[in-house]
Structure 1
Amino acid sequence: MHGNAVPDSYVYVTEEGVTRHYADGSVEALAWEDVVEVRVGGLAPAEGRPDVLIVLLDREGEGCVVPRSATDAGFLARLRYLPDFDLERLSTAVESAGDAYVVVWRSPDPPTQLPDLEYD
């Protein structure tokens, strides 16, 4: 039987936030008002080719990982509402992404120190 393969994950973007559902049933979600940092990097396989990951983090270092292949105009438009978010900087980071993560935006005045997260 041939049919469309079930995606390993899918992403919902709303005015309230971003939610990613994984094939194993796990879910990552983050409200836009809680986003304090945006990172780009970490190439991951997507349909046999690498995909860039955009990571949204909250103050506790929890967040939502959004593959570039799951982004759309709505996601990019919503990022523009983050204070002083630079879509050109995001685009440059996505185009030159490698295994290391690069911070492309940080909240202008986070109330607490953000953890320096390590990525494999």
Structure 2
Amino acid sequence: MHGNSVPDSYVYVTEEGVTRHYADGSVDALAWEDVVEVRVVGDPDVIYILLDREGQGCVVPQAATDTAFLTRLRYLPEFDFDRLGEAVDAARGDYVVVWRSPEPPSPLPDFEYD
């Protein structure tokens, strides 16, 4: 009997963010508003890495992407699809940063000391 194989992970892309569910039950999730960097890595498969200010992120295999993911990248401020295409073509073993938030990091809050 042949059954459908269970994928090792799957990715949901919404207007709010990206979520990757792994076969072991773990989950990576990142809200679009928290994304400050997009990287591309290839060796041999291409993956996208979305990071927040603390370095936490969501790893998205190219095989799990669809037009919703690529369309949503377009809404990141000053995102350059030409740079993304070049990075995907050139990514071989090391990562390439294809986008960084043009917004400066938010300042630390003022603390009052006694």
Taking structure 1 as the reference length, the TM-score comes to 0.84
Paired residue type of 1:4: N
SS in 2 for 1:88: helix
Unmatched 5+ stretches in structure 2: 107-114
> How far does the alpha carbon of each residue in 1:19-65 deviate from its partner, in whole angstroms, 9 at most, with x for none?
0000000000000000000000143xxxxxx3211000000000000
How far residue 90 of structure 1 moved from its aligned partner, in angstroms, is 0.8
Greater C-alpha Rg: 2
Amino acid paired to 1:73: T
Aligned to 1:96: 90
Deviation digits for residues 64-106 of structure 1 (CA, Å, limit 9, x no counterpart): 0000111111111100100000111111111221110110000
TM-score w.r.t. the length of structure 2 is 0.88
Q: CA RMSD in A?
A: 1.1
Indicate the percent of aligned positions where both proteins have the same amino acid: 76
Moved over 2 A (4+): none
Letter of the 1:72 partner, please give it. D
Q: Report the more deviating stretch, 22-31 or 92-101.
A: 92-101
Tell me the residue number matched to 2:5: 5
1:86 corresponds to which of 75, 80, 84? 80
* 8 Å Cα contact 2:42-2:88 kept in structure 1: no
**How many Å separate the matches in 2 of 1:16 and 1:71?**
16
